[in-house]
Amino acid sequence: MLVLCLLLSMNQGRVILESPMEMQVFQRDGRDRGRIALRGRLEGMGDVLEARLTGGKAKGEWKPVSFDDRVAGFAATIDAPAGGWYGLEIRLRKGSALVAEGSVKRVGVGELFVVAGQSNAANHAEAKLKPSTDKVVACDGSSWRVAEDPQLGATGNGGSFIPPLGDILVERLGVPVGFFPVAVGATSVREWVPAGVAFERPPTLTGNIRSVGPGQFESTGRLYQALADRLRLAGPAGVRAILWHQGESDANQKDPNRTLPGGDYRKLMEEIIRASWRDGGRETPWFVARATYHTPEDKRSDDIRLAQESLGKTLALAGPDTDALDGDHRDNAGKGVHFSAKGQSEHARLWSEAVGPWLTRQTGETWPGRRGPGAVSMAPGGRFRQHAMDRPRPPVVTPPEAGKAPSDAIVLFDGKDLGAWKTDKLRDGKDAAPWKVADGIFEVVPRTGPIVTREAFANCQIHIEYRPPAVVTGRGQGRGNSGFFLVGHPEIQVLDSFENDTYPDGQAAAIYGHYPPLVNANRKPGEWNTLDIVFVSPVLDGRGKVVKKARYTVFHNGLLVHHDVEVPGSAVASPISLQDHGNPVGFRNIWVRPARDYDNP
């Protein structure tokens, strides 16, 4: 009775839609378009079958769909723009009367991947992850859903790299991304070959292996079959690529007789790849990762890695090298073989960097750095997404109190002694700096010569405090003159330029002989002044020739007086020198902070 009511409500007919499935993604053909496979059966008599896409970039026009009324079935495609989700409607008409209709709420055209291999391609990682958008989906061979860990179709109850990889690709490419996870934990490549390919050494675990004669084994073909099935299921344009992450169960086995020689690894991979091309009806690209890591004590097998590398240069494309992901990238506090949450995220990033540039060359897009609405947002350097929470936190540094150094500085004068400084004019064979230290400051002793730091500094921030004499004597260049040098580069002038005229490129805070300061920020004679300098070292070529000049940025009493100006000099690392110009200028609180790198605390 219920069935009858349904049939009546559907105008006495039915469209039974087998394809597309709810949330299914089809591989796009180029950058902007793809084809959605329509397949199903019809119940009820009609003469026109038609379908349309709604939502997003779809135009919503009804398009005829050919069908075979002898078997009451249809198998066709409908063109669709690549992009977001569309609604699909299909209807059977007889004249103007509606006989039956069917629909799918969400179907998309974007990028498709098969993910195969062993545990680190399956769900054996430490953290169960979720994509941040419903446009990252996965299919276990019978249905599609948002690709939350654990992924259906692969083994394990933990996490994978699929959600973060999907997020990166969706953000970068602006299309939905679908995965067919088929990886199985602890499997050897020997278990993945199609049935009928014989080999001599059985793997450590033999669940998918059978004996076919004395010293001869073959795979049951079950794992390969799952992979080949997904290729057939994918639709009119197949999948973009097969992502292969496997090798641990072939490398360095406890029983050395179960270890697979690299040459055999390569041969068996060739069998799998060629079989997938034959059975899939197209040469779907394979990306082969370098994956042989077991423990901190057994980080790699060069034999298997070489085979993976050689595949990546010939029959396949190079996937990421994940053997480099050690320490806190691994579970069990860095002792495990599987990835930690941090490792999963890094694994995904490495895959995106292996696949993304190649993929965008196929579609005519650019990777990275696509800009515009909805485009992404990798932070400069390409290692992290914008607003990524897994970015290293900048180190905590205690900022200086007035007259003190910050906590991470190299202190060149702390009020006590000039141990960090020396003189070139030896006295009694000693190079101790001869200037006067008293009351927490030091002072130029006229005609003793300059002093210079024992240490040299490359790219850095430098802080200096100085005080011209309170009692004014002399004028122009003769009043409170000293100076600050990164040896080999121009002087930054120290002078009493408070109501004391001289040539502008020689007044206080000038880059002497090159640039006057942008403003005159001098305090009165006898008061303390600050100079804060950012020094960017020059870049030299192999012969020592400057290919990128050194640069200064300088603040005088907190005011910008030079902004990123080029200066001559080829010294990459320089000691700091203070000038003896015959005036008793005082100094205090001098420190240097070597420049830090982003994301490298």
Which CB sits closer to Mg ion, 183 or 509?
Answer: 509
Q: Is 161 in contact with 338 (CB distance < 8 Å)? A: no
Q: Closest distance between Mg ion and the C-beta of residue 320, in Å?
A: 55
Which CB sits closer to Mg ion, 356 or 468?
Answer: 468
577 belongs to the binding site for Mg ion (CB under 5 A): no
Q: Which stretch binds Mg ion (CB under 5 A): 214-222, 514-522, 578-586, 590-598?
A: 578-586
Q: Which stretch binds Mg ion (CB under 5 A): 36-44, 148-156, 372-380, 581-589?
A: 581-589
Percent helix, percent strand, percent coil in the chain, to nearest 5: 20, 35, 50
Q: Closest distance between Mg ion and the C-beta of residue 491, in Å?
A: 6
Please state, in angstroms and rounded to a whole number, the distance separating the CA atoms of residues 276 and 283.
8
Q: Closest distance between Mg ion and the C-beta of residue 495, in Å?
A: 6
Please state, in angstroms and rounded to a whole number, the distance separating the CA atoms of residues 258 and 301.
14
Specify the residue for token string 């292969």. 244
Q: Which parts of 299-358 interact with Mg ion (CB under 5 A)?
A: none
Distances in Å between the Cα of 154 and the Cα atoms of 135, 182, 264, 294 are 20, 5, 25, 20
Q: Closest distance between Mg ion and the C-beta of residue 477, in Å?
A: 7
Please state, in angstroms and rounded to a whole number, the distance separating the CA atoms of residues 465 and 529.
6
Which CB sits closer to Mg ion, 390 or 424?
Answer: 424
The closest alpha carbon to 291, from 111, 114, 113, 115, belongs to 115
Q: Which stretch binds Mg ion (CB under 5 A): 203-211, 410-418, 525-533, 573-581?
A: 573-581
Alpha helix ranges (H) inside 435-524: none
Which CB sits closer to Mg ion, 262 or 480?
Answer: 480
Q: Closest distance between Mg ion and the C-beta of residue 476, in Å?
A: 12
**∠ CA 352-355-356, rounded to 5°:** 70
Q: Is 365 in contact with 169 (CB distance < 8 Å)? A: no
Q: Which parts of 122-151 interact with Mg ion (CB under 5 A)?
A: none
The size of the chain, in residues, is: 601
Q: Which residue is nearest to Mg ion (CB)?
A: 483
**Which residues neighbour 524 within 8 Å (Cβ) at sequence distance 6 or greater?**
498
Please state, in angstroms and rounded to a whole number, the distance separating the CA atoms of residues 162 and 145.
13
Q: Closest distance between Mg ion and the C-beta of residue 507, in Å?
A: 10
Calculate the CA dihedral of residues 76, 79, 84, 86 and round it to 10 degrees. -50
Q: Which stretch binds Mg ion (CB under 5 A): 128-136, 189-197, 247-255, 579-587?
A: 579-587
Q: Closest distance between Mg ion and the C-beta of residue 579, in Å?
A: 5
3-state secondary structure of 463: strand
Q: Which stretch binds Mg ion (CB under 5 A): 149-157, 388-396, 421-429, 575-583?
A: 575-583
Q: Is 19 in contact with 25 (CB distance < 8 Å)? A: no
Chain centre to alpha carbon of residue 187 = 28
Considering only 20, 368, 483, 584, the residue that binds Mg ion (CB under 5 A) is 483
Q: Is 548 in contact with 568 (CB distance < 8 Å)? A: no
Residue ranges of E strands in 31-96: 33-43, 48-54, 63-64, 73-81, 85-94
Q: Closest distance between Mg ion and the C-beta of residue 492, in Å?
A: 9
Q: Closest distance between Mg ion and the C-beta of residue 486, in Å?
A: 14
Q: Is 230 in contact with 114 (CB distance < 8 Å)? A: yes
Please state, in angstroms and rounded to a whole number, the distance separating the CA atoms of residues 399 and 380.
27
Which CB sits closer to Mg ion, 434 or 490?
Answer: 490
Q: Closest distance between Mg ion and the C-beta of residue 513, in Å?
A: 11
Q: Is 176 in contact with 85 (CB distance < 8 Å)? A: yes
Which CB sits closer to Mg ion, 363 or 481?
Answer: 481
Q: Which stretch binds Mg ion (CB under 5 A): 177-185, 433-441, 480-488, 521-529?
A: 480-488
- Helices 341-363 + 162-173 axis angle, to 10: 40
Residue ranges of E strands in 221-285: 241-245
Q: Which stretch binds Mg ion (CB under 5 A): 3-11, 35-43, 116-124, 473-481?
A: 473-481
Dihedral sign (CA 368, 370, 375, 378): positive
Please state, in angstroms and rounded to a whole number, the distance separating the CA atoms of residues 83 and 582.
74
Q: Closest distance between Mg ion and the C-beta of residue 482, in Å?
A: 6
480 belongs to the binding site for Mg ion (CB under 5 A): no
Which CB sits closer to Mg ion, 72 or 487?
Answer: 487
Q: Closest distance between Mg ion and the C-beta of residue 451, in Å?
A: 14
Q: Which stretch binds Mg ion (CB under 5 A): 207-215, 344-352, 571-579, 588-596?
A: 571-579
3-state secondary structure of 495: coil
Which CB sits closer to Mg ion, 273 or 585?
Answer: 585
Which CB sits closer to Mg ion, 311 or 451?
Answer: 451
Which CB sits closer to Mg ion, 29 or 505?
Answer: 505
Q: Which stretch binds Mg ion (CB under 5 A): 195-203, 219-227, 474-482, 528-536?
A: 474-482
- What six digits make up the tokens of 151? 């992924």
Please state, in angstroms and rounded to a whole number, the distance separating the CA atoms of residues 379 and 381.
6
Q: Closest distance between Mg ion and the C-beta of residue 483, in Å?
A: 3
Please state, in angstroms and rounded to a whole number, the distance separating the CA atoms of residues 504 and 499.
13
Q: Closest distance between Mg ion and the C-beta of residue 468, in Å?
A: 11
Considering only 253, 481, 537, 589, the residue that binds Mg ion (CB under 5 A) is 481
The DSSP-derived string for 447-509 is: TS--EEEEEEESSEEEEEEEE--SS--S-GGGSS-EEEEETTSPEEEE---TT----GGGSTT
Q: Which parts of 60-79 interact with Mg ion (CB under 5 A)?
A: none
3-state secondary structure of 217: strand
Q: Tell me the residue type at 109.
A: V
Which CB sits closer to Mg ion, 311 or 511?
Answer: 511
Which CB sits closer to Mg ion, 481 or 537?
Answer: 481
Which CB sits closer to Mg ion, 102 or 506?
Answer: 506
| Bond from prior residue into 368 cis (ω within 30 degrees of 0) | yes
Q: Which stretch binds Mg ion (CB under 5 A): 217-225, 382-390, 524-532, 572-580?
A: 572-580
Q: Closest distance between Mg ion and the C-beta of residue 551, in Å?
A: 21
Query: Where does this chain bind Mg ion (CB under 5 A)?
Result: 481, 483, 579, 581
